[in-house]
Amino acid sequence: MAGWWLVFAQFALIALLLWPSSTLHFSIAGAILLGLALLLGIWTLTHNRPGNFNIHPHPKVRGRLIKSGPYEYVRHPMYVALLIFAAALCFLYRDAWKLPVWLLLAVVLWIKSKVEERALRARYADYAGYAQRVRRFIPRWF
């Protein structure tokens, strides 16, 4: 049940960040972040097809563990792509209230990743070793 609340919070926070409370402003940083988010999201989807991943933080019954592509560098590349996309929105809208929303989204995704990893460890025997080698969100750091 907690997983659905996390999914709801994630989508609600993304919707808030997309809310056009001001005019879009061109920003080199925002454009670069938007491009990086799109590239990482597409790269992730080429390695973990939509039939395998789940928006709910529990693996699908017939799912398989993916450790190639972006998953060689971070355990949750789609969450990273979402955070980069959300950061781009902060730069492009320039609304001060969006930064705390971004931080809250980061906390929700961190909690969601903890719940997901508990389920992945229970489902896949080799997940614990993978988690020791590969960082959660930032390669070689976090």
Whether residue 11 is contained in a domain is answered as no
Full residue range of the structural domain in which residue 120 is found: 30-54+63-142
Cα distances (angstroms) measured from residue 15 to each of 21, 58, 64, 131? 12, 23, 30, 31
Whether residue 4 is contained in a domain is answered as no
Range with lowest mean pLDDT among 15-19, 39-43, 64-68, 93-97: 93-97
Q: Quote the number of domains for the chain.
A: 1
Whether residue 23 is contained in a domain is answered as no
How confident is the model at residue 75, as a pLDDT? 97
The Cα–Cα gap between 69 and 46 comes to: 8
How confident is the model at residue 107, as a pLDDT? 97
How confident is the model at residue 1, as a pLDDT? 67
Whether residue 103 is contained in a domain is answered as yes
Residue-wise pLDDT for 28-85, tens only, equals 999 999 999 999 999 999 999 888 888 888 888 888 999 999 999 999 999 999 999 9
Whether residue 6 is contained in a domain is answered as no
Over range 104-129, report the average pLDDT.
96
